[in-house]
């Protein structure tokens, strides 16, 4: 983990090559450390809760600008997904329930209890990130992608319900659903790169 002095230096105008090097170095070190000690539940729990420990801004400064087809870019997407679930589990549980019937295959891949409650979604987000360190990283990425696809379907249904009564909210949900589909595609691509030993 970065010490506070190093973290303070990240948000400034850093040379893009140096920022990329920091992103790849930190992501590689965290994944390597977690995977080499995957039988240490305390370490895995600390890695899963990285955002709570370091703060979203610090993690964003390291990884948010990384392309999706890189290890730091893929990790950033998974950590943001977990943080979103942690902050608004009730809304996401409702959207997930809306999306499950139209996306049953993705629901199975994601592995959420049925019907899912807020705690089930939190457990899934933790399990996906734990899988990065204790299981097949490609499978963890695919589970995250499947989760995004079910949420996107639910958000689209939610937007349909709001059409005619709250056009602005419907438009925001439709854009959000589109972003979730894009994130799912990026995670699936990252999984394929990992399997081909090309996710760096």
pTM value > 0.85: yes
How far is the C-alpha of 19 from the C-alpha of 126, rounded, in Å? 27
Q: What is the pLDDT of residue 163?
A: 86
Residue 108 makes CB contacts below 8 A (sequence gap 6+) with 146
CA of residue 179 relative to chain centroid, distance: 13
The low-confidence residues of the chain, meaning pLDDT below 50, are 1
How many angstroms separate the CA atoms of 129 and 152, rounded?
Answer: 20
Whole-number Å distance between alpha carbons of 124 and 131: 10
Residue 100 is predicted with a pLDDT of: 85
Gap between the Cα atoms of 129 and 26, Å rounded: 16
DSSP letters along 25-63, please? HHHHHHHHHHHHTTT-HHHHHHHHTHHHHH-HHHHHHHH
Distance of CA 141 to the CA centre of its chain: 8
Predicted local distance difference test score (pLDDT) of residue 139: 94
């Amino acid at each position: 983990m970065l010490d506070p002095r190093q973290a303070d230096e990240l948000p400034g105008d850093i040379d893009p090559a140096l920022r990329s090097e920091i992103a790849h170095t930190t992501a590689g070190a965290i994944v390597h450390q977690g995977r080499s000690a995957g039988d240490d539940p305390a370490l895995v729990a600390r890695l899963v809760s990285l955002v709570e420990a370091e703060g979203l801004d610090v993690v964003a400064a390291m990884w948010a600008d990384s392309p999706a087809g890189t290890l730091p870019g893929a990790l950033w997407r998974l950590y943001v997904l977990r943080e979103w679930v942690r902050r608004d589990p009730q809304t996401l549980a409702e959207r997930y329930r809306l999306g499950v019937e139209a996306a049953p295959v993705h629901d199975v891949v994601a592995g959420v209890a049925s019907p899912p409650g807020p705690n089930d979604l939190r457990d899934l987000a933790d399990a996906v990130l734990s899988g990065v360190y204790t299981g097949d990283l490609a499978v963890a990425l695919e589970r995250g992608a499947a989760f995004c696809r079910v949420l996107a379907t639910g958000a689209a249904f939610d937007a349909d319900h709001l059409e005619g009564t709250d056009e602005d909210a419907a438009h925001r949900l439709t854009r959000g659903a589109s972003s979730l589909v894009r994130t799912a595609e990026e995670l699936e691509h990252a999984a394929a790169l990992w399997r081909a030993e090309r996710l760096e």
